Amino acid sequence: MDLKGFIEITIKGMLILALLNIVYAIIFKRIKWKSALLVNILRRVRLYVYILINITCLWWFSNFFPLYGYAPQMLNLFELMLIVLSGIIAIEAVSALLFDYFLPIVKREETLPIYRQLLTGAFYCVLVFLVFGWVFRINVAHILTTSAIISIVIGLALQDTLGNLFSGLAQNFSRSYQVGDWVRLGDYEGKVIRIDWRSVTILNVDDNIVIFPHSTLAKRELLNYSNPTPVHLRTLVISAHFRHSPHKIKLALGEILQTTQCVLKDPAPRVRLVDYSDHAVKYKIVYWIDDFPQNAAIASEIMEKVWYKFKREGIQIPFPIREVYHLKPDREISIEERVALLKNIDFIENLSYDELEYLASRLKIQSYCDGELIFEQGEDGDSFYLVKDGEVLVTAVNERGERYLERVMKPGSFFGEISLLTGDRRSATITAINDVELFTMGKEDFRYILKSNPKVDEIISSALAKRQKASMAQKARLDETCSEECEETSEHEMRSLTDQFLKKIRYFFSY
């Protein structure tokens, strides 16, 4: 072949290669196919098509150039590669048609990976037999059926593999678990993330991957928390001191279960007294959840709320009676320190020292955990709170559900005074931002002050009227019904609002 012919063939070959790559780029990269069938087929065959294009060009070149006397051998090699790649593309296209389109989209049937692996594996075995039989003229079936040694070797070598295969088929036909289920296998508990022809893979609670061969799994007990229903009963045992009545304990534990979001309300949770032990009365909490992976977190949240609730209610969690412990009590805030805190509250700052001292002695401490609801807007209430430690979030919404108030209260702040003094429903929702300790005062604690000092209710009414007017103006600004003039309050309006509070206070305290 002369130089001119060599150049012409080379140019033609480069043009063919460039043209095929352009077509490949357009089909596989540029066009945004909308057909689910085409998208799945192209996704599975794109790599093999790219290799096929380049092998085809090499085969074409080898027809024109004798490669150092090895042209026939190279042609045979390229032809073999073209046959194998064409077979692979056909197998992957059929696999995509059946398992990515027809069954899941047309028939809407769930397909497990093991079925695809078995079918494609069978197709690849057929392809291998065809290559050996057609290209190399080797009778593979004759060799396998007439050689006893090969049959024995293959049987022994595949013993465990076939055991895993048939065990996997049995498990998949029974549908005892599937990908995404939360299961317990022996000592391991976790989420099934993969099922293939040989094994099952779970991601356990420690975020470690554990692989179970099907043959081993078939001999173990399996507990599926996701099938046939994700709803599961859980229990916790809580101990309380003998001095507290069962009714009080059950009521406290029931309130905790009702306020824990992940605990189902239907079926309703229950509390049972189950045992009188040597040091405590034991109660069993029975509740249902529908998100089993969060089981440990839900149990932890309940136990945490028990501690705070028991501390607020004065319920003692007893120590085991084995050793004597001398515990140093927490330092209590003195009456003088409490009085100093009360002097910063506007509606009682003008009380006498004796009156403030009386109120200070009546303050009780309540503890709340991070995120715990203290009370909700619209609830009934007759208690007042003063933040001792921690922070709380105050939120309020209008009739349209729009939030018009959101602020954080820090130590020294107070809330709930309207309900304490008038019995009105709570005007805002209060939630603990972190661990919070609150001083609390009830209606009966304040009754003595009002009766002993007739002028106190007028002072308090005036202070409440000013705060109420500021809150109403803020809400009106959100509703866009308030102009600059509406924020200016006449003396007559303030007097009217003060009188309203005064009447409510006297009616609420019945004097």
For 198, what's the count of Cα atoms within 13 Å in the CB-facing half-sphere? Answer: 6
Which CATH architecture describes the domain 335-509? Sandwich (2.60)
Angle between helix axes 335-342 and 353-362 (nearest 10 degrees) is 110
- Going from the C-alpha of 329 to that of each of 324, 326, 335, 434, the distances in angstroms are 15, 9, 17, 23
Tell me which CATH code domain 160-224 carries.
2.30.30.60
Residue 444 sits at φ, ψ, to 5 deg, of -65, -25
- Predicted model pTM: 0.55
How is the chain split into domains, by residue range? 3-146, 160-224, 232-313, 335-509
Q: Quote the CA–CA distance of 234 and 260 in Å, as a whole number.
A: 14
Tell me the three state secondary structure of residue 50.
Answer: helix
Digits of tens for pLDDT over the chain (511 positions)? 566 776 777 788 788 888 888 988 888 888 888 888 888 888 888 898 988 888 888 787 777 665 444 455 666 777 788 888 888 889 888 888 888 888 777 777 666 666 677 778 788 878 777 777 666 666 655 655 555 555 555 554 544 555 555 555 556 555 677 788 888 887 888 898 887 767 788 888 788 888 888 777 767 778 888 888 889 899 999 999 998 989 999 999 999 999 898 899 989 999 999 999 888 999 999 999 998 888 889 999 999 999 999 988 889 988 765 555 555 555 567 888 888 888 888 778 778 888 888 888 889 989 998 889 999 999 988 888 999 999 999 999 888 888 888 889 999 888 888 888 888 888 899 999 988 999 998 888 888 888 777 777 787 888 788 777 776 766 666 555 555 555 555 677 778 888 888 888 888 877 6
* CATH class given for the domain over 232-313: alpha beta
